[in-house]
Structure 1
Amino acid sequence: MSEDMQRDAIDCATQALEKYNIESDVGSILLYIKEEFDKKYYPAWHCIVGKDFRPCVTPDMERYICFHLGQEAILLFKCG
């Protein structure tokens, strides 16, 4: 993923985590990140947020990022 897209992903996730409560509204966080990336970089983006998950994906590294914000891990990738 380009450095600009990486910055956008981190900024977008930060905004989502500030806007919604991770404990009670994780669905809104996921949807916020996904929809922002779908708008900016065209569909179809997928997002996983959590403290402990083990993904098994074969990503296109140009459209994939996994990072931590605090205790939350965010995986964002594009299919199709």
Structure 2
Amino acid sequence: MSRPSTGGRPSTSGPRSGVDPADREKEILEGPKKIIHTYPLLRHSDMPEEMKSETMELVVTACEKHSNNNENAAKMIKEELDRKYGPSWHVVVGEGFGFEISHESKNMLYMFCGGNLGICVWKCS
């Protein structure tokens, strides 16, 4: 029995051409690969540009310095922001959290650092 002609087009049924079956099996067994970024990823900010870049730099420094202790990283960020921009700053550093906050206008930043470490900083009066 012969297969019907596809008019010169490659067949869409059967194994994918150019893919080694062993690689395909490995891909299926391992599942989807997680892409972890190591650069800071800004999700939202209403800060002025200079304040935003200084705060992001501070956050990255604190998270690198206190990579094993999120509480110490948050404390370092809060103390520096309080000193530089006046009280009352609030900082959350961690994974898998959500938030709904009220903050002073132009005083909020939410970012990720080192993959899935979320950092939210905001100022309240």
State the partner residue of 2:53: 7
Q: How many residue pairs get matched?
A: 78
Aligned residue for 2:74?
A: 30
Moved more, 67-76 or 32-41: 67-76
Residue matched to 1:67: 111
Q: TM-score, normalised by structure 2?
A: 0.58
Identity of aligned residues (%): 29
Give distance in 1, aligned partners of 2:82 and 2:106: 15
**Deviation for aligned residue 1:54:** 0.8
- Offset of residue 61 of structure 1: 3.7
Tell me how far apart the structure 2 counterparts of residues 30 and 40 of structure 1 sit (CA, whole Å). 15
Runs of 5+ consecutive residues of structure 2 not aligned to the other structure: 1-46
Structure 1 residue 74 displacement after superposition: 0.7
In 1, are the aligned partners of 2:71 and 2:93 still within 8 Å (CA)? no
* Structure 1 gap segments, 5+ residues each: none
- Does residue 49 in structure 1 map to residue 93 in structure 2? yes
Distance in 2 (alpha carbons) for counterparts of 1:52 and 1:60: 24
CA distance in 2, matches of 1:54, 1:62: 20
What TM-score, normalized to structure 1? Answer: 0.88
Counterpart check, 1:77 vs 2:122 = yes
How large is the Cα RMSD of the aligned pairs? 1.2
State the 4+ residue runs in structure 1 displaced beyond 2 angstroms.
58-61
- Bigger fraction of residues in helix: 1
Distance in 2, matches of 1:28 and 1:3, equals: 26
Take 2:81 and 2:99, find their aligned partners in 1: how far apart are those partners? 20
